Structure 1
Amino acid sequence: MTLLHSPPALGSSLPLARDLARFGDRTAFVTADGEISYQELAGRVAQTAERLGTGRRLVLLPGANTVEALVVHLAALSAGHPVLLAPGDHPEAVAALTAAYDPDVVVHPAASGAWRIEERRPGSAHVFHPDLALLLSTSGSTGSPKLVRLSYDNLQANAESIAAYLGIRETDRAATTLPVHYCYGLSVVQSHLLRGAGLVLTGLSVSEACFWDLFRAARGTALAGVPYTFDLLDRVGFAEMDLPHLRYVTQAGGRLAPERVAHYAALGRRRGWDLYVMYGQTEATARMAYLPPELADTHPGAIGIPVPGGSFSLEPVEATAGGDEGTGEGPGEGVGELVYAGPNVMLGYATTPDDLALGRTVDVLRTGDLARRTEDGLYEIVGRRGGFLKILGLRIDPQQVEALLERHGVSALVAGDDTTLTVAALRGPGRDARRIRRRVVEACGLPPRAVDVHLLAELPRLASGKPDRQAVRALARPALAGAASGGGDLCEVYARILDRTDVTPDSTFVGLGGDSLSYVEMSLQLEQRLGHLPPDWHTTPIRDLRPPTRPAGTRARTRLETSVALRAVAIVCIVGSHVPIFTIRGGAHLLLSVAGFNFARFLLTSAERLERVRRTARSIGRIALPCMAWTAFAMLVSDDYGLTNLLLLHNAIAPQDMGPGIHLWFVEALVYILLTVLALLALPAADRLERRFPYGLPLALAAVGLLTRYELVGLPDRSKITDAVTVFWLFALGWAAARAGNVPQRLLVTAVALATVPGFFPGELGREVFVMAGFVLLVWFPSLPSRQRINQAAGLLAAASLSIYLTHWQVYPLLDGISKHLAFAASLVFGVGYAAAVGRLVRRLPAPRGLARWTGRAAPAEPAGPAELTGRRS
């Protein structure tokens, strides 16, 4: 639309935004759609500046990591228009800031093409100070009317300072891993534009494979992250990634634990990049201190030295300022409030539109952090003076949260630590912890997992009557205590089933080392307690597992996970066919697909490559060792097995043997397959390939397996080679089924199964139908309608399926002469009892380091895999 022009601007403009054209044909932005040069960017900025007009007006811009958003941002700053940068992913904040500051121009995002510029009036309703350039929400106060007023000198000085200590080059290309409405993310953009460097412009998360595809293709040199970003990097195997152009990684937005700083510093040294730990606040335009990379190993807890052009001082504080409120604890010797001075310190705050006319109201920045200066001249943060909290990189004012809740009729006290905001609310009619959490989440921008709400009969107070925030903070830790004392919450259930003492509300089944044996029991317990089984519960934090909301008077529908049902049915069919009291064959081959399905779910997590290898090795041990132990016992009481069985080599050495020695073919085949996959994924290139193509790789492996299934590679007849070679495609199809993320992918993997299973068992149509039907259920139906008693029985059978399979060969011959039905029942019951006895024995044993590698009991670990899958070839 055409904008009406106002009188000429009296204010300044931002040089780094005004002088883009001087970098000519250098690349400014790299996006998934191509590259944009500085010359092209400067032209688009100039065109947009002309649309905005020459008269100064307040421009409200929702921030986004897109070309369109940055063009408007740079255009406004180059033309002298003050910019109110709002969170682009928070429409409520945009609405609140619009109502509070009445901007003259509002920019509206568009799904594609140029963003729409709405002119709300021809001139301006406001009076601006000539230096006013940018208005930012203080970190964590999303939508709050309290804004930080930044000048053109603030922005330029901070960009120059950052570019100097990072040594940014024109050949650098930094990824926009943080939102531009956040001062840290904005500083990455501005410091690189200042030097004519490139930006890999994306809104993708570092947890997405597409991000890394773009980063590598763009020859990315720099990454920026808050502490949570580094959690994601751990999950995606960053340590093993091949990033040949990466020069440095920066960290700010909250404290990163010293041990993790040291870890990443050492990793960078090995891989050829530097780690810069930084410290800043929105009030200082972004950065106030940085830790030189060469000091990260020896001083990982320090924030470092002031940025170029800045300086620190320590202001004495009262004796009680450094301790918890009401405790009287002092801040410690040599500790004072950290005060920063420099050209990047804000003009001051704004709380109303009238404040936009103000000049500088502060000369230095009192950070509210308590710090000390070490003998090496480095600064270390030791606590907070004021009541602000910094949670997951967001600064939260507990009193503002309390005031927000009070406006909604809820009396509350708020406290917290680096990871959790704890709310103690007064219990009352209609009070709902979920609604309170939702209000706090929306107001603060925190993820739901970081807000812990407790409804209390009385709010905790000190003897003086002041709020007891220490007691509120302590409320965040009852779950683990409940696990230890026998409480009835989910943490206790996880602790009991997984035999762990380190369960917290943020724990997940996968992260605690749950495997496919404990998965069965845990899923049944959740179904019973929650009334349903949430999707992806095994990777969901415990605190987010809640009963569904349903209309009053309606009952929850009991369901059973399909993989559990298939394992239970398969082991029943296997034993029943062996006794025999019926003949339903194909269970073992169906379970190969279930094994591949569970392999993808439990072993192919976001852990780094070496950890995946260790967990797969543990999975193999959990399959092989029980089998070898029972085989040794069976060799003492019968002549069924020999040394080749004990060593799990019989099927490889004598595949044509159809005597008792072939009983354990399925276990051997599964062990061989897992060893092969282990060797494959131990290769860095294969590991990267799986992360990039999580569905395509197993589908390609299935295609390779089909070469042996159809005897297309010159191998001997399949009866003369180990079964692992000829049935691998079924395992790979199950793996692909677990990775199928949409309908077309599920259709393809189903079509492959339905096309390739027929003919594998010549003359046994029923067997083929059984395998195909089970596979279809596995792919398309995550759970099945059931009843509680059926769930309990299925859970027992599925969890004990390995024990049932191993022991039934020796149990049913003792009774089948008396009654085949008795022999069948006894085999199942004995196997369930044996599994329970072994489980109790393992829990009572101490877990030394050697044992812990196989049990996962000593340290947090992700699951070990499908240990209980069993079957029979004949």
Structure 2
Amino acid sequence: MFHARDHLMRFADRPCLIHDGEVLCYGDLAEAAARAAARMPGRRGLIGVEMRPEPRAIATYLGALQAGHAVMPLPVDQPDLARTLARRFRPAALWSRQDGRWRGQVLDNAAALHPDLALLMQTSGSTGQGRGVRLSARAVAANAASIVDYLRLDAEARAGLVLPLHYSYGLSVLHSHLAVGASLWLAPGSVLDAGFLPGLAQAGATSLAGVPHHFRMLDGIGGAGALPPSLRCLTVAGGAMPAADVARWARAMKARGGAFVVMYGQTEATARIAWLPPEHAMRAPDAVGQAIPGGQLLLRDAQGREITAPGVEGELVYRGPNVMMGYADQAADLRLGPGLDELATGDLARRGADGLYRITGRLSRMSKIAGLRIGHDALERALGGDHAVWGDDATIWVARPAGPAAESAADLAARAAALAGIGRQHVQVLECPALPRRPNGKIDYPALRRLAADSAAPGPEARSVQALFQRCFPARAIGPEDSFASLGGDSLQHVELSLLLDRRLSGLPEGWENLPIRALESARPRPGARVPMPVLARALAILAVVVSHQTGWPVYGGAAAMMLLLGMSVAQHRRQALAAGDWAAFLRPSLRVLVPYGLVLAGFALAWHQVPWVSVLMLGNFALTTPETHLMLPYLYWFVEAYVQITLLLALLFWPPPARRWLARDPLAAGLGLLALACLLRLTLPEFWPLPAGRSQFSVPWVFYLFALGWCIACADSRRARLGVMAAAAVILPVAAYLGGNWYGGWIKYLSLLALVAALLTVRAVPMPRPMVRLAMHLAQAAFPIYLLHRLVPEVLMPRAGLHLDPAMTDLVAVLGGIALGWAAAQAQGWLSAQWSFRSPGRPAATAR
């Protein structure tokens, strides 16, 4: 077996696991597994192991098997699910990372096991209430041997592992490579992470296994052309990939002398059931292929009779040594012996005249209405486009993403009814901003059922973490596996959600942006009240803007600091969308700026009885006119215009695929390139295109380098990189002070910015009394509304109220009133978001037409 110490030692000097820049040889893994085995309980039992993509977890997994135990692989960072599974299946011990350390917890009342049981997997997409799959050592070894056979794996193979190891597909990659002394690169994060492609190349990976969603992400960062030359084999499983995509990837891999292998499997068959030989991928891209070596496929009709004629649909049945022992719903089931000699997959399929099998639907995804048998999968394919279909024997539901559509909901319902051959009254249409999907990319039908069933009224769960996310992302389908990073939030959403989570959790957990909602629900914040440095900087920046605009005190640089923070935000929260060429996701956050700005424009247009067209066209900072003509807004709104212009400039610069691949591969280098371009613009363009005195400072060439510097701060993820960015700032900012007129105000401004750069590079969070933390968060959350509205207090509201105070009191009322007005607008915006969130995918209006 692949896990045995003697087997591992056969390849003692060969590389095995590559992780975090280090190579662990088979001999090292064998020793680590032996140490883990020695720490296991003495009596055979079920061992739960949190399957992190790191050598320590793999050694613990192998050590448990070496010690004679059965293993229950657990997902990463889901302690609630681990506890639920522990209650149901009563493991002898749980191993997981806690507080940064790998720890084992021995439990009482361990369940008795059948001697053949080696693995207890959870069915795909299941929660703690799903079904356990009992797998024998023989089944695991047989499936690994089959995969080695048809993929022709040998000791020179090296897999890039991005699949979760608690998932049967990911675990099969580990098993098959260990079986032949091959090696694996353990990818530290997502395919879209900046270091993924460079890491894959540096590791010398020869293969990569993924689900269809992984390949959609790869398409966004350059497709097969972005993959390193060493990569010769791509495999896909875990869901149906569109035939056109299969053919395209097969052509791309053939052109580079490699292979694209479609596979089909279920956890109940350990992992793999069928495979499509690469030579058939372009000719039969809709097929899952043939049985794996050592296995057999057949079809049965509804009466249980075998179907032998080609082209006839039936349930797909698999026979082979890798079939599970049976299901387990509770601890008592773990002592049961093998109960199956074949697996009825529950999938409907046809066998073509070419001998290849094609999946046509799911047996359980059927409705029988008016005597007609309606396959949900077949109806989905017939509708085309981005639709999801489910239902029962009374109603067929069709879901589609909301937005501009070629046909109305009524027309869609009528078309679906005609295709299914049923009356229009049996079809309901659900519109949602996006079809919810599971981590493996499959449509989440249970989530769609909940969307259709939920009412629009808020309930007690409105205080849950998921509800807070839904409030900040009202137009998105939010699920428990989503995180702020995966949702691509912007800086405004970041600050808003920081404040909401701080209230809900009594503090912000470390790295909360990357934690899934499921983990945040039970996360513990660090002791003591702390405000994140970017949030504190944002609060101080808007305070400086308001004070300097009213008083003329030398608190210069507030707007410049906001531009620098804007660069950080785009690099942190929108870079992946930019690198993937997902222009809708990249541009969408701009609406959170443009909608309030549009309301301000409308207000000025009503007051002036004239439309300020120059500002409508976002050209006010080009010095085409002055506010006195009422063709543009007051000067302070230059920031919004510069923001929009920089956003469009970034889209233009990274429109070419090579530029996006560079951005995905090395975001810091891309940021330094932006900084070099920005410095060149600052030094040259004002000379060739001089604007009137005092207007240049509002233009993009004057401020773009601050944005680029913020980008570099966000991407500086090592000590060396941070020192490099700090050195660049130490040169650029004093030069900017000198070029800006060499006066004391300029030096105050740019040296303050230099101190801010140093703080952002070195300080993650600042300890403060909790009332001060909340105050800073409120200021940061309301920063943009304050920026838009604060001058209305001294220039409009105070004169209309007849307030004529002494200068000091006027300044105080103007400053505090401007902040209060912006804060009130932010609260109103939050209230509207909360109301809208109850009609969003998390708690939908579930519009049925």
Candidates 781, 795, 811, aligned match of 2:763? 781
Q: What is the SS of the residue equivalent to 1:290?
A: strand
Q: Taking structure 1 as reference, are residues 248 and 857 closer, same or farther at Cα in structure 2, changes over 3 Å only?
A: farther
Q: 1:513, 1:856 within 8 Å by CA — same for their partners in 2?
A: no
Is 1:614 the counterpart of 2:605? The answer is: no
Q: 2:678, 2:705 within 8 Å by CA — same for their partners in 1?
A: yes
Determine the structure 2 residue equivalent to 1:268: 249
Candidates 814, 825, 835, aligned match of 1:834? 825
Aligned-residue offset at 1:585? 1.4
Is 1:770 the counterpart of 2:752? The answer is: yes
Q: 1:571, 1:801 within 8 Å by CA — same for their partners in 2?
A: yes
Q: What is the SS of the residue equivalent to 1:579?
A: helix
Q: 1:577, 1:584 within 8 Å by CA — same for their partners in 2?
A: yes
Aligned-residue offset at 1:559? 2.0
Q: What is the SS of the residue equivalent to 2:555?
A: coil
Q: 2:160, 2:187 within 8 Å by CA — same for their partners in 1?
A: no
Q: Taking structure 1 as reference, are residues 310 and 639 closer, same or farther at Cα in structure 2, changes over 3 Å only?
A: closer
Amino acid at match of 2:60: E
Q: Taking structure 1 as reference, are residues 231 and 506 closer, same or farther at Cα in structure 2, changes over 3 Å only?
A: farther
Give the gaps of 5 or more residues in structure 2.
31-48, 70-115, 123-131, 305-311, 326-336, 365-437, 440-445
Q: Taking structure 1 as reference, are residues 364 and 639 closer, same or farther at Cα in structure 2, changes over 3 Å only?
A: closer
Q: What is the SS of the residue equivalent to 1:593?
A: helix
Q: What is the SS of the residue equivalent to 1:250?
A: strand
Candidates 240, 264, 267, aligned match of 1:279? 264
Determine the structure 2 residue equivalent to 1:38: none
Q: Taking structure 1 as reference, are residues 635 and 802 closer, same or farther at Cα in structure 2, changes over 3 Å only?
A: same
Is 1:544 the counterpart of 2:519? The answer is: yes
Task: Tell me the distance in 2 between the aligned counterparts of 1:692 and 1:778.
Answer: 24
Determine the structure 1 residue equivalent to 2:804: 818
Q: What is the SS of the residue equivalent to 1:605?
A: helix
Aligned-residue offset at 1:707? 3.2
Q: 1:576, 1:583 within 8 Å by CA — same for their partners in 2?
A: no
Determine the structure 1 residue equivalent to 2:601: 631
The superposition leaves residues 298-324 of structure 1 with CA deviations (integer Å, 9 ceiling, x where unpaired) of 9999744324674224689999xxxxx
Amino acid at match of 1:703: A
Aligned-residue offset at 1:605? 2.7
Aligned-residue offset at 1:728? 1.4
Q: What is the SS of the residue equivalent to 1:682?
A: coil
Task: Tell me the distance in 1 between the aligned counterparts of 2:649 and 2:712.
Answer: 17
Aligned-residue offset at 1:224? 2.3
Q: Taking structure 1 as reference, are residues 481 and 803 closer, same or farther at Cα in structure 2, changes over 3 Å only?
A: same
Amino acid at match of 1:250: T
Q: 1:505, 1:543 within 8 Å by CA — same for their partners in 2?
A: yes
Q: Is 518-527 or 651-660 further displaced after alignment?
A: 651-660
Q: What is the SS of the residue equivalent to 2:575?
A: coil
Task: Tell me the distance in 2 between the aligned counterparts of 1:64 and 1:242.
Answer: 20
Is 1:241 the counterpart of 2:226? The answer is: yes
Task: Tell me the distance in 1 between the aligned counterparts of 2:642 and 2:176.
Answer: 56
Determine the structure 2 residue equivalent to 1:378: 357
Determine the structure 1 residue equivalent to 2:542: 571
The superposition leaves residues 227-251 of structure 1 with CA deviations (integer Å, 9 ceiling, x where unpaired) of 7866875886758836688775312
Determine the structure 2 residue equivalent to 1:148: 138
Q: Taking structure 1 as reference, are residues 481 and 558 closer, same or farther at Cα in structure 2, changes over 3 Å only?
A: farther
Task: Tell me the distance in 2 between the aligned counterparts of 1:514 and 1:832.
Answer: 21
Task: Tell me the distance in 2 between the aligned counterparts of 1:267 and 1:599.
Answer: 33
Determine the structure 1 residue equivalent to 2:532: 561
Q: 1:520, 1:564 within 8 Å by CA — same for their partners in 2?
A: yes
**Higher-Rg member (1/2):** 1
Aligned-residue offset at 1:698? 0.8
Aligned-residue offset at 1:286? 7.0
Determine the structure 1 residue equivalent to 2:673: 700
Q: Taking structure 1 as reference, are residues 231 and 51 closer, same or farther at Cα in structure 2, changes over 3 Å only?
A: closer
Is 1:340 the counterpart of 2:312? The answer is: no
Q: Is 626-635 or 598-607 further displaced after alignment?
A: 626-635
Q: 2:135, 2:270 within 8 Å by CA — same for their partners in 1?
A: no
Candidates 430, 446, 465, aligned match of 1:490? 465
Task: Tell me the distance in 1 between the aligned counterparts of 2:664 and 2:482.
Answer: 23
The superposition leaves residues 328-372 of structure 1 with CA deviations (integer Å, 9 ceiling, x where unpaired) of xxxxx987683425xxx47999xxxxxxxxxxx999953464455
Task: Tell me the distance in 1 between the aligned counterparts of 2:16 and 2:675.
Answer: 45
Task: Tell me the distance in 1 between the aligned counterparts of 2:486 and 2:322.
Answer: 43
Is 1:750 the counterpart of 2:726? The answer is: yes
Q: What is the SS of the residue equivalent to 2:790?
A: helix
Determine the structure 1 residue equivalent to 2:96: none
Q: Taking structure 1 as reference, are residues 649 and 712 closer, same or farther at Cα in structure 2, changes over 3 Å only?
A: closer
Matches within 5 A, 1:784-863: 784-814=766-796, 815=798, 818-819=804-805, 820=810, 821-837=812-828
Candidates 614, 618, 629, aligned match of 1:644? 614
Determine the structure 2 residue equivalent to 1:425: none
Aligned-residue offset at 1:633? 2.5
Aligned-residue offset at 1:569? 2.1
Is 1:516 the counterpart of 2:497? The answer is: no
Aligned residue pair count:
626
Amino acid at match of 2:658: A
Candidates 592, 603, 607, aligned match of 2:563? 592
Aligned-residue offset at 1:754? 3.1
Q: What is the SS of the residue equivalent to 1:789?
A: helix
Task: Tell me the distance in 1 between the aligned counterparts of 2:756 and 2:11.
Answer: 65
Amino acid at match of 1:486: G
Aligned-residue offset at 1:703? 2.9
Is 1:604 the counterpart of 2:572? The answer is: no
Q: Percent of pairs identical after alignment?
A: 27
Task: Tell me the distance in 2 between the aligned counterparts of 1:316 and 1:646.
Answer: 66
Task: Tell me the distance in 2 between the aligned counterparts of 1:347 and 1:505.
Answer: 31
Task: Tell me the distance in 2 between the aligned counterparts of 1:786 and 1:640.
Answer: 48
Q: Taking structure 1 as reference, are residues 265 and 835 closer, same or farther at Cα in structure 2, changes over 3 Å only?
A: same
Q: 1:562, 1:777 within 8 Å by CA — same for their partners in 2?
A: yes
Q: Taking structure 1 as reference, are residues 769 and 568 closer, same or farther at Cα in structure 2, changes over 3 Å only?
A: same
Candidates 53, 58, 69, aligned match of 2:26? 69
Task: Tell me the distance in 2 between the aligned counterparts of 1:743 and 1:189.
Answer: 36
Amino acid at match of 2:263: M
Amino acid at match of 1:340: R
Is 1:674 the counterpart of 2:678? The answer is: no
Determine the structure 1 residue equivalent to 2:90: none
Q: What is the SS of the residue equivalent to 2:482?
A: coil
Q: 1:340, 1:365 within 8 Å by CA — same for their partners in 2?
A: yes
Q: Is 628-637 or 177-186 further displaced after alignment?
A: 177-186
Task: Tell me the distance in 2 between the aligned counterparts of 1:50 and 1:566.
Answer: 54
Aligned-residue offset at 1:737? 0.8
Task: Tell me the distance in 1 between the aligned counterparts of 2:491 and 2:534.
Answer: 10
Determine the structure 2 residue equivalent to 1:312: 297
Q: 1:237, 1:606 within 8 Å by CA — same for their partners in 2?
A: no
Task: Tell me the distance in 1 between the aligned counterparts of 2:59 and 2:157.
Answer: 34
Determine the structure 1 residue equivalent to 2:551: 580
Q: What is the SS of the residue equivalent to 1:758?
A: helix
Q: Taking structure 1 as reference, are residues 812 and 239 closer, same or farther at Cα in structure 2, changes over 3 Å only?
A: farther
Aligned-residue offset at 1:682? 2.0
Determine the structure 2 residue equivalent to 1:691: 664
Q: 1:235, 1:605 within 8 Å by CA — same for their partners in 2?
A: no
Determine the structure 2 residue equivalent to 1:29: none
Q: 1:609, 1:682 within 8 Å by CA — same for their partners in 2?
A: no
Amino acid at match of 1:594: L
Q: 1:562, 1:782 within 8 Å by CA — same for their partners in 2?
A: yes
Amino acid at match of 1:644: V
Q: Taking structure 1 as reference, are residues 549 and 495 closer, same or farther at Cα in structure 2, changes over 3 Å only?
A: closer
Task: Tell me the distance in 2 between the aligned counterparts of 1:703 and 1:292.
Answer: 49
Give the gaps of 5 or more residues in structure 1.
1-12, 15-44, 53-60, 74-85, 102-134, 194-198, 320-332, 350-360, 385-448, 451-472, 860-874
The superposition leaves residues 186-223 of structure 1 with CA deviations (integer Å, 9 ceiling, x where unpaired) of 546889x9xxxxx8863445736555346568997753
Aligned-residue offset at 1:738? 0.9
